[in-house]
Amino acid sequence: MSIMNKIIASSLPILPKWFAKPFATPYVAGETFEEAKPHIRALNEKGFKTTVDILGEHVKNKEMARTITQHYCNLFYAIKEEQLDCNVSVKPTHIGLDISLAETMANVHRIIQSAKDTDNFLRLDMENSSFTDATLELYNHCINIHPKSGVVFQAYLYRSYNDVMDHTSPQFNARICKGIYKESENIAYQKDSDIVDNFIRIVHKILNDSGYCAIATHDLGLIDKLESWIEENNIQKHHFEFQVLYGVPMSGKLEELLSKGYTVRVYVPFGYAWFDYSIRRLKENPSIIGYVIKNLFKQK
């Protein structure tokens, strides 16, 4: 079955979207916030915090980037009205970074004002390395307006540790992930063991400097290593959280972390651009295809 799962996962990009949608459903909470809302609420009721992302990236039209910006602004007010335990994550290229830094700065200014008005938190996602410097500039702008601002660092980039050193402070809030974009060996570690080592080094640095660290990984071994270090060094629970993507199986680890009193946040994507995102997730985890097929043919 695992070979068949991989074959289906590889074939989905060339098949009609109606065929792919049942396989995408586990990873995407819907096409609109109204569809995503019950999933977010259900997670909250189980004890999980959430962050939402409107799917999409690399917008090259100014009017479209401004429309998406307004959607993000509206999202903050909808979260407050619905009283959800949820913050917001934004990809800078979704709001214009492929157009210009100035265009994105104007758009992110509107979004961070909405975060401030609703007393919520904004996270700027990190994309491929060509956007790193600009994303950090956007983050510096946000943090000067509203302290509830954060950014992401990718452990596979050589530069990430030094970037963290340049920003670390008790007010610093960073999500650390391994990194998913294809990057040259000139700027990024290629071996998973090297990436894991750098991930651990970055997390240690942030927590030793009393910053806040969102540990974003599905690597159970890495979680165990960091959890052991956290316990050995008496790191207070309000300085960190664990983060995972919506729909990725974690073998009961998330519930175990919750039972220990740790904060666990689920990254919940929604939007009309669900197809490409879902294909990436399915290629990373083809086993989900077997579960979907079983459900499709299950006797009622």
Q: What is the pLDDT along the chain (300 residues), one digit of tens a residue?
A: 455 545 555 555 555 554 455 556 677 899 999 999 999 999 999 999 999 999 999 999 999 999 999 999 999 999 999 999 999 999 999 999 999 999 999 999 999 999 999 999 999 999 999 999 999 999 999 999 999 999 999 999 999 999 999 998 888 999 999 998 889 999 999 999 999 999 999 999 999 999 999 999 999 999 999 999 999 999 999 999 999 999 888 999 999 999 999 999 999 999 987 666 556 555 555 544 444 444 434 433
Q: With contact defined as beta carbons under 8 Å apart, do 198 and 161 qualify?
A: yes
- The pLDDT assigned to 249 comes to 85
Helix axes 132-145, 160-167, angle to 10 degrees: 20
The domains located in the chain, with CATH, are 50-270 (3.20.20.220)
Whether 175 is a known active-site residue: answer yes
One-letter amino acid of 21: K
Taking alpha carbons only, the member of 217, 168, 228, 159 closest to residue 188 is: 159
Tell me the three state secondary structure of residue 41.
Answer: helix
- The one catalytic residue in 123, 125, 163, 281 is 125
CA distance 154 to 33: 28
Q: With contact defined as beta carbons under 8 Å apart, do 160 and 153 qualify?
A: yes
- The one catalytic residue in 123, 175, 265, 281 is 175
- The pLDDT assigned to 132 comes to 98
CA distance 121 to 53: 13
List the beta strands (DSSP E) in the chain.
Answer: 49-54, 86-90, 122-124, 149-154, 173-177, 212-216, 240-245, 264-270
- The pLDDT assigned to 247 comes to 86
Torsion, Cα of 168, 174, 176, 180 (10° steps): -120
CA distance 299 to 297: 6
CA distance 55 to 28: 9
Whether 125 is a known active-site residue: answer yes
Question: CB-based contacts of 193: which residues, under 8 Å, 6+ apart?
Answer: none
